[in-house]
């Protein structure tokens, strides 16, 4: 009998606890139902407005032909800013203090900034490259001894391609603030060939000019004028230097073909490429 009374008392206490919880929940929704509904509406409206404004910003950027990467970056920034602002307003609407959240976000941002300062430096440099446009996709750049054709420009890095099919990834922080050479679609070739002092240097210069002019303009630039002339007077040869602009994607291939063509042109014209000789005198 006593056991039955104990069970009834326990059940009665559980019912009272459930009733109390139920009353609390009902009171909360009665008191804050409009605030919660308003908060949800604010978040939904913020999400909608952020998407619309982001698309509008991207459309404006495309209208003025801004860089694709910069266009997407600005669109994402606008979308994130509007949505975060809507969430903060919604939290305040339901009576949740946002001060601790702001403090926590600030501390987290400081820690993340210290941990990711290298990455952030790359992103900052990438944004500077996109805004100032010191080079574009398809240009040939040389920086810190590395050279190649620009394949892609991202916020964190720039991708270069070489004639050998290699892809070189350069962190953007190593580009901004360094000496940067942009030769667009071409690279300068500087070579020297020696001829015998008995030969006519004008004939040699004319032969080299003829060789260079015979190449496809896509391989050797005709707009960027070649330079040919006497560079120096060696002990065994008259040094003729020739400079021309070769397409970066076939730089070495063109250089080798030009040298072979010059050798054959000299051979046809009887121009001698001398080599060092020494007379040995035998003492009696």
Q: What is the pLDDT of residue 132?
A: 85
* Mean pLDDT calculated for residue range 279-283: 63
- Over residues 10-32, the pLDDT tens digits come to 666 777 777 777 667 666 666 66
pTM for this prediction: 0.63
* For residue 161, pLDDT beyond 60: yes
* For residue 159, pLDDT beyond 80: yes
* Mean pLDDT calculated for residue range 80-93: 82
What string of DSSP letters covers 47-113? HHHHHHHHHHHHHHHHHTT--HHHHHHHHHHHHHHHHHHHHHHHHHHTT---HHHHHHHHHHHHHHH
* For residue 151, pLDDT beyond 70: yes
Under the banding of pLDDT at 50, 70 and 90, the label for residue 188 is: very high
Q: What is the DSSP letter of 181?
A: E
* Mean pLDDT calculated for residue range 264-282: 83
* CA gap 158, 139 in Å, rounded: 12
- Over residues 58-74, the pLDDT tens digits come to 888 888 777 676 777 77
* CA gap 64, 74 in Å, rounded: 14
User: What structural domains and CATH numbers belong to the chain?
Assistant: 2-115 (1.10.287.1260), 135-184 (2.30.30.60), 186-269 (3.30.70.100)
């Amino acid at each position: 009998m006593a056991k039955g009374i104990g069970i009834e008392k326990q059940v009665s206490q559980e019912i009272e606890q459930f009733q109390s919880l139920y009353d609390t929940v009902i009171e909360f929704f009665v008191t804050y139902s409009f605030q919660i509904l308003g908060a949800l509406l604010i978040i939904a409206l913020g999400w909608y407005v952020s998407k619309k404004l982001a698309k509008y910003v991207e459309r404006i950027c495309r209208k003025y032909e801004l860089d694709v990467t910069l266009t997407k970056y600005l669109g994402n920034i606008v979308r994130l800013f509007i949505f975060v602002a809507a969430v903060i307003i919604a939290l305040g609407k339901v009576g949740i203090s946002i001060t601790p959240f702001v403090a926590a976000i600030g501390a987290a941002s400081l820690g993340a900034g210290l941990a990711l300062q290298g990455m952030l430096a790359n992103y900052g440099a990438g944004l500077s490259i996109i805004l100032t446009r010191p080079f574009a996709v398809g240009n040939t750049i040389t920086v810190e001894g590395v050279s190649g054709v620009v394949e892609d420009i991202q916020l964190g890095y720039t991708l270069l391609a070489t004639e050998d099919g290699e892809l070189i990834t350069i962190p953007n922080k190593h580009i901004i603030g360094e000496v940067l050479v942009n030769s667009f679609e071409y690279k300068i070739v500087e070579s020297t060939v020696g001829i015998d002092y008995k030969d006519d240097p004008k004939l040699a210069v004319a032969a080299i000019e003829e060789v260079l002019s015979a190449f496809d303009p896509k391989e050797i630039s005709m707009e960027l004028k070649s330079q040919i002339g006497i560079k120096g007077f060696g002990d065994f040869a008259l040094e003729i230097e020739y400079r021309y602009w070769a397409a970066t994607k076939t730089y070495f291939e063109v250089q080798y073909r030009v040298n072979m063509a010059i050798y054959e042109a000299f051979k046809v014209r009887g121009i001698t490429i001398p080599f060092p000789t020494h007379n040995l005198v035998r003492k009696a």
